[in-house]
Amino acid sequence: MLVVGNWKMNTSQAEAVALAAGVARGVAEADTDVGVGVCPPFVWLEAVRERTEGSPVQVGAQNVSSEESGAYTGEVSAAMLSDLGCTYAIVGHSERRALYGETDAVVATKTSRALSHGLTPIVCVGETLDERRADQVEAVVTGQLSGSLAEADDASRIVVAYEPVWAIGTGETATPEQARDTHAIIRRWLTDRFGASGAAVEILYGGSVKPGNADDLFRQPDVDGGLVGGASLDAEGFVEIVRAAARARE
């Protein structure tokens, strides 16, 4: 099980450090074998990494450049993130796809960059409400997987996050059954494509995960944890979600 917080474009430096400290303390007390990561804004990565050093909490970035290095103003490379001690990089988040025009091809290159610098990419996929209503969940999600993982030949260092776009930041959550069904589709696709390494990929659910719904979601087969946005900005609530992940596999 793995629970990762996506802080998005939130927190001052002081808030980021305090949040990291609270999460590190709470996760250490929870004493579980659930993997835990936090993804602060780039500018607080170093401060958060220092604050979580020696704790079970890993640090990740919310994005990574598709380019290796050079004249790409404003970009941050996988090598830099790795140099900083990051473990994870979120790639292809729906906000990046929708607001910054990231295509599956770009996400595929970002995934390769992350992998080649020792980062674990958290590759996000998910359908919109219109696509769900049109019965296109399987086509959309498998299409995104096949495009976004086109350059990978092994899945052993890849994490996939299923994040239905209509559930992100809306307070609306997929029902445990909807999560289970889509995770099963993703598992089948990963296993067909990558064999044993695909069968072992951690598939996170994301979209309004909170302490109150985490238990039901995490108890579903193939839901191997969560990618948590809004609720990751509160240390206590986030740690409660980590505890739910631990309970789910007891």
Residues of the shown chain interacting with ligand PGA in the complex, contacts defined by CB under 6 A = 6, 163, 168-169, 206-209, 227-231
- Cβ-contact 135, 121 below 8 angstroms: no
- Cβ-contact 34, 1 below 8 angstroms: yes
Q: Is 183 a catalytic residue?
A: no
Indicate the residue among 126 and 198 with the shorter CB distance to ligand PGA: 126
- Cβ-contact 206, 228 below 8 angstroms: yes
Minimal distance, residue 166 CB to ligand PGA, in Å: 10
Q: Is 117 a catalytic residue?
A: no
Catalytic residue among 93, 95, 202, 240: 93
Indicate the residue among 86 and 231 with the shorter CB distance to ligand PGA: 231
Indicate the residue among 95 and 104 with the shorter CB distance to ligand PGA: 95
Number of residues that this document lists for the chain: 250
- Cβ-contact 157, 120 below 8 angstroms: yes
Catalytic residue among 102, 127, 163, 240: 163
Minimal distance, residue 173 CB to ligand PGA, in Å: 8
Of all residues in the shown chain, the one whose CB is closest to ligand PGA is: 229
Minimal distance, residue 33 CB to ligand PGA, in Å: 23
Separation of CA 111 from chain center: 13
In this structure, the number of other CB atoms found within 10 A of the CB of residue 99 comes to 9
Cα gap 22→46, rounded to integer Å: 17
Q: Could you tell me where the DSSP H helices lie in 1-86?
A: 13-30, 45-52, 78-83
Minimal distance, residue 167 CB to ligand PGA, in Å: 6
Indicate the residue among 194 and 242 with the shorter CB distance to ligand PGA: 242
Active site residues: 93, 163
